[in-house]
Chains A and B, each alone.
Chain A
Amino acid sequence: MPFEWTVALRFLREGRFQSLLIIGGAAIGVAVVIFITALVNGLQANTIRRVLGTQAHIVIRPTEEVARPQRDAAEGGAVLPRVEARAQRLRSIDQWQPLVAMLDGLPGLTGVSPMVSGPGFAVRGDATKAIAVFGVDPQRYDRIVSLTERLVHGAFRVQANEAVIGKELAQDLGLAVGDRFRLVTSEGAAAVSEAFMVTGIVDLGVRDLNRRSVYIGFRTAQALLSLPGGASQIDLKVTELFGAEALAQDLQARTGLTVESWMRTNEQLLAALRAQTITTTTIRIFVSVIVVLGIASVLVVSVVQKRREIGILRAMGASRGKIQRVFLLQGAVVAVVGSVLGIALALAMVVVFLDVARNADGTPLFELVVTPWLFVGTAVGAIVCGLAAAYAPARRAAGLDPAQAIRI
């Protein structure tokens, strides 16, 4: 073993109690950082999954219609001082088929689903409920929001005049699979009314959505909403969740359509997630600082205790650099051993947490996100902290005057 390793390890072994203390401190620091990170990542993933489970990551809509102010060409001034905003009627996205074809070939997307959606009423007997009609291609839509997974009864099948409806709506109208109801829309000049059979009942996890959602076939919806051959929006699912906004802006620039990501439609959620991330980061920084100070203070004491040994080593021909490395190594070794113990401790904490934190029905409250990278990253961080902590003591040790150090 080289000189630095031999002496560093032996010094650590010699100062047994001190070494155990700082290794323990580093281990607890590492464990806390890993556990907190896993906890918050798990919480965030859980929140995002719940919120985005029933949402597309990116929605493409037609550009809003704008009323142009009337201008006098000669003078350049407005002729009419007040411009009333136009009412937005239901329109199709121009050239949506080639757009879908293009999106299908785009990397970073896991789902592309054109949709025709609009308002309507569900009627059964005397009961009338305001609803939203979604005309979808089941295969494509399942990749955006998996209705198949959310089925309570029946199947996700929406051929001609078949419909999948939300749980609460089924209750409100007293519908079961196989029952019939009428859908009424008024997008065209006159109201259109058509009979549908319930093929499936879904639970979207949000009562309001369950009360309003009616899924029917894409083509049926086109006819029902007077949008023949059209698509009112295109839903996208992305692989990189937090890259959605950048992708949306890119698509908006390329297509000229209105493209909105979940990050813009859920700004408050995003702000909450950011606040959580900042909190975790703050905790991590403070834990690191405490660990650094702990290691540093013990090493400073160790340098003072070992003055004479340092003097002897210098007299034997050990350079300042060698002495400095002996103490830097001690910091690094403490960090590495602390990391290994800390990772084990963190895993134990995760196991205990998963066992304790359960829903009433015994399923885990939420999953903790524990990745190998979290361990690697924390260990690397710990080693950097260990070296940083050892820096000042190591400098001090290297700067000792050997003649004085020996005289003591």
Chain B
Amino acid sequence: MGTAASTAVPLLELAGLTKNYGTGTEVETQVLHGLDLVLQPGEFTALIGPSGSGKSTLLNVIGLLEPPTGGSYRLQGRETAQLAEAELTRLRGRTIGFVFQFHHLLPAFTATENVLMPSLVAEGPVTAPRRAAARELLTAVGLADRLDYLPRKLSGGQQQRVAIARALAMSPQLVLADEPTGNLDTHSADDIFALMRRFNRERGTAFLIVTHDPRLAARCDRIVELVDGRIASDRPNPA
């Protein structure tokens, strides 16, 4: 319990969480069946499982992009079901960063502008220090010479680096990554993974990474396996 004192409140806590789609219709399907999951600050966790096991849905619920159907979801100790839409939006912007499989950068904005976007949403007009911080972050992901490139002028791996820099721009406690290396070659995938790991170590940011790649999962601290909307296994990974 030596370090537990400082982390008395878990980063997030799911209890009996369920998610149904098509509620009230004939095709109502339950995607998540009563999940219990606790993530601590700074944890580097892989979320694995076959297609259709509910990984993306779980990520969306944790990312406050969709509300759970039942059960409890506490983020930093606050019950999210009690928060209004506007509060959820604000909480999402400041607490959670997203890295999507297909980069999902804003094509009309340069790399720097993409990284500045979360703070533009949260804090208003861009200031010089914030611009400097964004450039620093892009330099940290190895894109010092691509700062003002539009996404379409960047390779897949470079785009994903921008996405990671953007996810980290607000210094969130948690980064949700949905198959961040899914469409990259092995070499680029290793780079991206190493980058996330580095930020996890340097900044203490927690990562929850959905991946199909057992090689990458094996390099995480903890592996949660989802099968048919239930947690099939949840084990620490000593490697």
Contacts and interface: CB of A to CB of B under 8 A. Distances in A.
Interface of A: 1-3, 6, 10-11, 13-14, 308-309, 311-320, 322, 401-403, 406-407
Contact of B117 (A1, A316, A407): A316
Nearest to A319: B89
B122 to A, nearest CB: 6
A6 B126 CA distance: 10
A318 B104 contact: no
Contacts of B108: 10-11, 13-14, 309
Contacts of B193: none
Nearest to A317: B93
Q: Is the interface of A mostly helix, strand, loop or mixed?
A: helix
B121 A318 contact: yes
B107 A317 contact: no
A316 B121 contact: yes
Contact of B122 (A1, A317, A407): A317
B120 A315 contact: no
Interface in B92-129: 92-94, 98, 100, 104-109, 117-118, 120-122, 124-126
B65 interface: yes
Contacts of B86: 319
B124 A3 contact: yes
B201 interface: no
A308 B100 CA distance: 11
Contacts, number: 69
Question: How extensive is the interface on chain B, given as a class?
Answer: 20 to 34
A309 B105 CA distance: 8
A308 B93 contact: no
Interface of B: 56, 60, 63, 65-66, 85-86, 89-90, 92-94, 98, 100, 104-109, 117-118, 120-122, 124-126, 166, 170
Given A3-B120, A317-B121, 5 more contacts: A315-B92, A316-B98, A317-B93, A317-B122, A403-B65
A127 B97 CA distance: 105
A406 B100 contact: yes
A403 B85 contact: no
A2 B117 contact: no
B165 to A, nearest CB: 13
Contacts of B63: 315
Nearest to B106: A309
B89 A312 contact: no
Contact of B125 (A1, A317, A322, A407): A1
Contacts of B105: 312
A391 B130 CA distance: 33
Contact of B120 (A6, A320, A403): A6
A316 B113 CA distance: 13
Given A10-B109, A401-B66, A406 B104 contact: yes
